[in-house]
Structure 1
Amino acid sequence: MLRLLRNFKYFSRRELQRVCSTVATCDRSDVHMVLPSVMPSEFAKRIRPLPVPELIEKFSNDAPGGQFATIAEYLQSDPSSVAVLVPQEIDLHRKMVLDDLNAYMHAKDAFRETHGFNRIFAHVLVVAGAESIPRCPLRQKSDLLYLCDCLRPGAALVLYRTRKRKTGALLFLPEDVDSQLSTIYSEMHHVDDVLPLAMIKKSLLWLLKDHSPELWHSPDPSSLVSRIVEEAAQEAKMSLCNPKYITQYTRTVKTTRELSALRRANAIAADSMAEVMAQPQHSSHELATSFDYMCRMRYGQPDESKVCCRLDGNGLWQMNAGCQYGGYEGGLARCWPSAGRFTPPQKMLYGALLDMQRDLCSLIQSSGSEGAVRTPLELHAAYLILLGRYLWELRVLPKSRRSPAETFELARKYSCSPIVVSHVGLGKRDTSRKLLDYPLTPGNVISLHLSISIPDDCCQAYPEFRGILCQLGDTFHIRDDYSVEVLTDLCPTEPQAIEVCLPAGRARFSRLKAVADQDESCDRRRLPDLEGEKQIA
């Protein structure tokens, strides 16, 4: 009996292996090919499930990144992650925004010379998220991501504060949410409640009626949330205020956690570009792909829209690249010779960029003690003055007496960037005119992207300088004493360091070292003979 059972198990196992090998052969191992070949059960026929390819297509388009709903989930695979959007940090961001809105209202009252200087204001801030685009990765708006760690498309956040200093946050999602999911989502996104987007108007009317606050929202005609907010403001007979520039200014002052993430993002970008420069250059596509791979190996997320690489007609590789870590941006710009060495005209123009960058950093350090430069726009004007002076020294600009406005206009023609200074933080860089007119303060992280471009048809310039483009971009943090910290110092900046980093430069350095070692060994071999000659003498 036992032998019969043992034989039955053996033959059953052999038959099962034969059937499995027939269903999933080596040439049909792909999930798209194997699963449709499985016979559906009666239960599967009744529920009518979607095919696996359609499920993959649906969830990869609807969910940002395929499966992640928060920034914290992106960083789970990083063993040394720098978490920023934790509940304590989000509470700090919300408090900073509400305090700045309150300070604006107090300043507005003081400007009107009213008697209610100590009035306590209530606020309701509505922030709309980004809408999903089919077959494109979702980039959540920085306004929403700064106040709520949510990467879900079509989301909207309502942040409010009463006159009794009680604060709350409500998150609205396009899909229907039951009570159990609402509890899970509330803890995940650190909000008081998660509701369907259809209830946002009702919730706003209740908040506006109960607390009579100031209503804040940045309108967007193409957004459904903006239309609902405008309808709620009309029904409540309240004015709608735009908090765009106030919230932008709040985000320019970085906290300790934000600085840690920015240091990590810029270190990833700088280290990745240094490795790209050190490898043999074949094509711009290969360099961009290598930068993408190296950033991902360091747990960064390359920004495809910020990666630009090309080889110009003068033998200079031009690369402007950036990546994100935890939603915070890092980026830089470099140029390096494909032959391994800068030509004298290229080295002269690149040296001028280095000198201008040092001068601008000195101006930033003196801005805290009533210096000549106080705002990013003034720093941009100082750059154009320095650029005009170097162009005059290179005889690109003729000698003549000009007003500062004329110097700006002439120097602007030889720069590739309309504005060289920008604030760096979450998402894209902020370069609005209103924001760049605010004074530089400790805690700011700014990017300086300097460039010199001499056109081919520039008759004033020497022929050796015509057609040359040099660029230099780095990210800086302004400390409490207004000293400057370079966040992209892992990538070489000096011409000698760049030449040593390049493959051709390393090969030439190896040859020179081999020749030097050979000469030194020859001298050592001749040393006993010389000593013998001295003894004979």
Structure 2
Amino acid sequence: MSLPHVALRRLESHVIRQCRASISAPVQLRHTLTRLPCSSHPRSASRGYATVSAAELEFGQPVYETHPHVLQPGEITPGITAREYANRRADLAYSLPENGVAILPAADLKYRSGAVFFPFRQESNFLYLTGFLEPGSVAVIRRTGRSHGDYIFHLFCRPKDPKAEQWSGPWSGLQAATDVFNADVSHDIASLPNVLPSLLRSATIIYADLPPSSPHTQPIRSALPSSSTPSPLRLLINPLRAIKSPAEIAVMRHAGRISGRALTSAMRRPWTLEKSLGAFLTHEFTQSGLDGPAYVPVIAGGPRGLMIHYVHNNNTLTPGSTVLVDAGGEYGNYITDITRTWPVSGRFSPAQRDLYSAVLIVQRECVSLCRANAGLSLDMIHRAAEDGLRRELKTIGFDLGSGGRALDILFPHHVGHYVGLDVHDVPGYGRSISLQKGHCVTVEPGVYVPDDERWPKHFRGLAVRIEDSVAVDEEGSVVLTAEAVKEVVDIEALREDV
């Protein structure tokens, strides 16, 4: 029999709650898609389907039926199931007041020059809630009742257009928006100005973060009742995104494992150019199954390592110097962030070894503090890093004075940040929040010694940063990037094995 929509939602919510811990049993995507025009009403249990195999169709992103080498059954993006995306929407809707509405525009295609565009990267909040990887889209989520799962999900997107797709490649269309991405209702994005006002009618409060550059910002603003200003959505979604699910951590662990191995492979080889080293890492990330680099890397030889975000990567690497490499790969839109510093020639000089060992001791100490039962925040761990660096630097001959801010010169950045769908994840989520199980952070103390008489001569011009991505557990931490070696003896042994 057909159930009312609210009843269906409540049933779905019950199933989601029962299966939360059962990530190994994902929901199967539909294997057949209807050819009929998309209904303007929510799905019902009596909906009919034609027998068209999804494997014979084209979508705007991989689905299991077309890309079984990329996705497992039930996954929308690598490692993340349709069930998890639905549960995320339910969690967000449950945080809204009754009849509250969240509006999320997708990212827009960015152009490099003329008709040459950058690779498309979906807006992170939109991606987190939908898994839909196309521009020209807007998601609307409205809470419809008091129970978890009482919401309706509208997805505005581009309808299929064979002529346009011949030029730009396939996109998913309105039917896939419901059948694959589980929207309750799909709409042509061109209808946004006409349809959105009715969806916002009688809304108690509207949440949205509207970028000025988005082509959908003005239509959304025009649809707001009485030209009201929406409340910031990030205040509701940041706490959800900050705590990673087991599936998210598994995806990040996969990215960290491959990225770490790529860094270790790079340490085995002699390099003469920053550019060549960077190209090797990009190749290793992609060839090993990642989507590619997660960000523009830092490949900084010698004193260029003193520049925290040096990304020119166009100079030579000199024997006897060190190279500081901040690079990581992306997988399923989740990133990994790693920094390693190693000697270009394969062996540390005495001064390089002393400074590196000082930073490594502090980095290991800070990683050990990334556990929920310690009750510490990133800001508190940063202060622990400062204390540790003062202790270790004094041991190797640095005079940091008393009561001054000399350490700010040597260690000018924070010890860590959140990591996930973005390199600096969930912007606006404070570093003063106590770490909880599921938080994923970086731990990256560093020392950058200027060529200044204030510092011991043999350390001047040296830069060391050691960074891992870490998942917080209740009684410990999981280093997601452990395959990138960092012990002095291990780094030096890599060249001995060649």
TM over 0.5: yes
Q: Of residues 131, 135, 140 in structure 2, which corresponds to 1:149?
A: 131
Q: Of residues 259, 274, 291 in structure 2, which corresponds to 1:301?
A: 291
Where in structure 1 are there 5+ consecutive unaligned residues? 1-66, 106-120, 508-537
d(CA) in 2 for partners of 1:239, 1:484: 42
Q: Of residues 417, 420, 427 in structure 2, which corresponds to 1:425?
A: 420
**Which digits, 9 at most, give the CA deviation of each residue in 1:204-257, with x for residues without a partner?**
3223325x332110132222322222222243x655210213312211111121
Q: 2:106 maps to which residue?
A: 129
Quickly say closer, same or farther: Cα 1:305–1:289, change in 2 above 3 A: same
Q: Of residues 416, 441, 459 in structure 2, which corresponds to 1:465?
A: 459
Q: Cα distance, 1:176 vs. partner?
A: 7.5
Match of 1:130, SS state, is coil
Kindly, what percent of the aligned residue pairs are identical?
A: 21
Q: Cα distance, 1:319 vs. partner?
A: 0.8
Q: Cα distance, 1:279 vs. partner?
A: 2.3
Count of residues paired in the alignment: 405
Q: 1:389 maps to which residue?
A: 391
Match of 1:358, SS state, is helix
Q: Cα distance, 1:132 vs. partner?
A: 0.6
Where in structure 2 are there 5+ consecutive unaligned residues? 1-57, 112-116, 163-171, 304-319
d(CA) in 2 for partners of 1:70, 1:96: 25
Q: 1:524 maps to which residue?
A: none
d(CA) in 2 for partners of 1:423, 1:461: 32
d(CA) in 2 for partners of 1:71, 1:450: 38
* One-letter amino acid of the counterpart of residue 410, structure 2: Y
RMSD: 2.7
Q: 2:93 maps to which residue?
A: 98
**Which digits, 9 at most, give the CA deviation of each residue in 1:108-128, with x for residues without a partner?**
xxxxxxxxxxxxx22211111
Quickly say closer, same or farther: Cα 1:225–1:490, change in 2 above 3 A: same
Q: Of residues 202, 224, 227 in structure 2, which corresponds to 1:233?
A: 224
Contact 2:444 2:468 in 1 (8 A): yes
Q: 1:328 maps to which residue?
A: 334
Matches within 5 A, 1:53-132: 69-70=60-61, 72=63, 76-78=68-70, 83-99=78-94, 101-102=95-96, 121-132=98-109
Q: 1:447 maps to which residue?
A: 442
Contact 2:260 2:483 in 1 (8 A): yes
Matches within 5 A, 1:362-373: 362-365=368-371, 368-369=373-374, 371=375
Quickly say closer, same or farther: Cα 1:448–1:175, change in 2 above 3 A: same
Q: Cα distance, 1:147 vs. partner?
A: 0.8
* One-letter amino acid of the counterpart of residue 70, structure 1: Q
Quickly say closer, same or farther: Cα 1:261–1:381, change in 2 above 3 A: same
More off after superposition, 382-391 vs 481-490: 382-391
Contact 2:377 2:434 in 1 (8 A): yes
The answer to whether residue 199 in structure 2 is matched with residue 207 in structure 1 is yes
**Which digits, 9 at most, give the CA deviation of each residue in 1:37-58, with x for residues without a partner?**
xxxxxxxxxxxxxxxxxxxxxx
d(CA) in 2 for partners of 1:316, 1:68: 46
Quickly say closer, same or farther: Cα 1:304–1:358, change in 2 above 3 A: closer
d(CA) in 1 for partners of 2:68, 2:350: 49
Q: 1:275 maps to which residue?
A: 265
Contact 1:476 1:487 in 2 (8 A): yes
Asked which structure has the greater RCO (Cα within 8 Å, sep 6+), the reply is 2
The answer to whether residue 155 in structure 2 is matched with residue 187 in structure 1 is no
d(CA) in 1 for partners of 2:68, 2:417: 30
TM-score, scaled relative to structure 1: 0.70
Contact 1:83 1:257 in 2 (8 A): no
* One-letter amino acid of the counterpart of residue 249, structure 2: L
d(CA) in 2 for partners of 1:284, 1:173: 42
TM-score, scaled relative to structure 2: 0.75
Contact 1:245 1:435 in 2 (8 A): no
Contact 1:392 1:399 in 2 (8 A): no
Match of 2:295, SS state, is helix
Contact 1:310 1:317 in 2 (8 A): yes
Q: Cα distance, 1:76 vs. partner?
A: 4.0
Q: 1:265 maps to which residue?
A: 255
